[in-house]
Chain A
Amino acid sequence: MAFINGLKCRECGREYPAEPLNVCEFCFGPLEVVYDYATISEVVSHDSIEKGPLSIWRYKDLLPANGDDPVDIMAGFTPLIKARGLGKQLGLNNLYIKNDSVNPSFSFKDRVVSVAATKALEFGYTTIACASTGNLACSVAAHCARAGVRAIVFIPSDLERGKIVGAAIYNPILVSVDGTYDQVNRLCSELADDYPWAFVNINMRPYYAEGSKTLGYEVAEQLGWRLPDHVVVPSASGAMFTKIWKGFNELACLGLLDGVEGSSFGIDQNTVHHPAVTTKMHMQQAEGCSPIAYAWANNQSQVMAVRPNSLAKSLAIGNPADGIYAIKVIDKSQGSAYAVPESEIVNGIKLLAETEGIFTETAGGVTVSGLKHLAESGAIKPDDLTVVYVTGNGLKTIEAVEEVVNPLSIKPSIRSFEEMFHGAK
């Protein structure tokens, strides 16, 4: 069972039962899950977690859906790799990569969708839907295939072929919308009001977003129940960024970090900050869609929406739902936000591939380039324990790096090979 009390408005604090709702009926503020931490603290332990499956559901007591029978395609518990090659290149001796590109549908979205799909079935839905430019579409379609329920996936009509195939293979109802980004956004928002479907990032959003907390839990567990000095995270809506922070703080408050005494959660449990959590949270956005980084850099109290124009399509959310909350996390953690120049995105992809053997998508290129900036600027010191999150697989965005394909052509003979090879040397 899920240890939750209901939902609560992040703006006015009004409480709601745990239902498929995402907006406060009074002030239209976003809703967030309220946990029964008193009960959770009695049942959760290192032992209970370590006995769990090698997926996000090992943290089932900390998730808002029934983890006894989840929709699980084994999302999560992805490798945390000591990055010796990349670290050497950047002058960082204690660098780790959280490689979330190896999730079942090849992005971190499997974490949030697994939670949303499980909750949707609990609510009795038989159709799960989303609007996506790639990763989310693949993940929703895959989880629906696993659960045996109908998937309806809305995509912009100009989506790259590879991404369409990546979702279509699971046989969802695929709806290609011929319209601008804003028109697709508005259409899907209206459909979510009119149809009895579980839209993972609309009416399921309070539950869906919580799946990203597992990115925080796993890093802590894989580091031996301790937290890094810095994390470097890509950001679109800002939700994942805030949930990693929330995950760290929940572990601290529940006494699950080594050498840290637990403490009770504050009244506003969603913004709680345990003093033992000293991790600096560094957000990376692509310059072509960087509303949160811009607002933070200019000390603005609001995040102004922008029209996305970035190579990093999976980060291209012009009107980020959690932008203002992400800025609060940056400030609390004494972290930073950076808009990575578009020209650096492909360089970041190549740097990671050439130093660590990991092929990431454009969002990962943003993150690695942002890490490079942090190392070069001295914001991260050489011996600081640093974790960089790589959240999607490079096969999703091969068109961004096609320039690397430059094979040495030969005739089918040893002589031709040797002429080319020795010449090439």
Chain B
Amino acid sequence: MGKQRVKFTFEETLVKQPVIYELGQKFKIVTNIRRAEVGEEVGWVILELEGDDPEIQKGLEWVSSTGVRVDPLGGDVIAG
């Protein structure tokens, strides 16, 4: 079992979709929300995912495929 901390960003068309609920249903992943700000037009959620690493990877690929942006916690780590 591994853990991964990520940030999901939802644009207007996705902000009402239960993506995190579905992530937990479709994959063997425990989702633990730690911080969030959700408005009418946009929202972000910082959460910890727990599960087997391949399952987390598959889950994150599915989240990305819905149009939700998936980023590492704390912003980009690649620097100029």
CA distance A136 to B74 in the complex (A): 18
Docked-complex contact A186 and B72, CB < 8 angstroms: yes
Given that A28-B46, A304-B42 are contacting pairs, would A201 and B72 also be in contact in the complex, using a CB cutoff of 8 Å?
Answer: no
The tally of CB-CB contacts under 8 A between chains A and B is: 100
Other-chain contact of A133, B7, B70, B75, B78 (Cβ < 8 Å):
B78
Docked-complex contact A301 and B79, CB < 8 angstroms: no
Q: Does chain A have a CB within 8 A of B54? A: no
Q: What class of interface size applies to chain B in its complex with A?
A: 20 to 34
List B residues 33-80 near A (Cβ within 8 Å): 34-35, 37, 39, 42, 44, 46, 48, 69-80
Interface of B is mostly: strand
Docked-complex contact A188 and B44, CB < 8 angstroms: no
Which residues of A have CB within 8 Å of B79? Answer: 109, 130-133, 135-136, 201, 236-237, 317
Other-chain contact of A189, B34, B42, B44, B73 (Cβ < 8 Å):
B73
Which residues of B have CB within 8 Å of A305? Answer: 9, 69, 71
Q: Does chain B have a CB within 8 A of A192? A: yes
Given that A236-B80, A304-B42, A305-B69 are contacting pairs, would A317 and B75 also be in contact in the complex, using a CB cutoff of 8 Å?
Answer: yes
Which residues of A have CB within 8 Å of B11? Answer: 304
Looking at B11, B35, B73, B76, which has the most chain A CB atoms within 10 Å of its CB?
B76
CA distance A322 to B75 in the complex (A): 8
- A residues touching B (Cβ–Cβ < 8 Å)? 11, 22-23, 26-30, 109, 130-136, 156, 181-182, 184-186, 188-190, 192, 199, 201-202, 205, 236-237, 301-302, 304-305, 313-323, 363, 392
- B residues touching A (Cβ–Cβ < 8 Å)? 4-5, 7, 9, 11, 34-35, 37, 39, 42, 44, 46, 48, 69-80
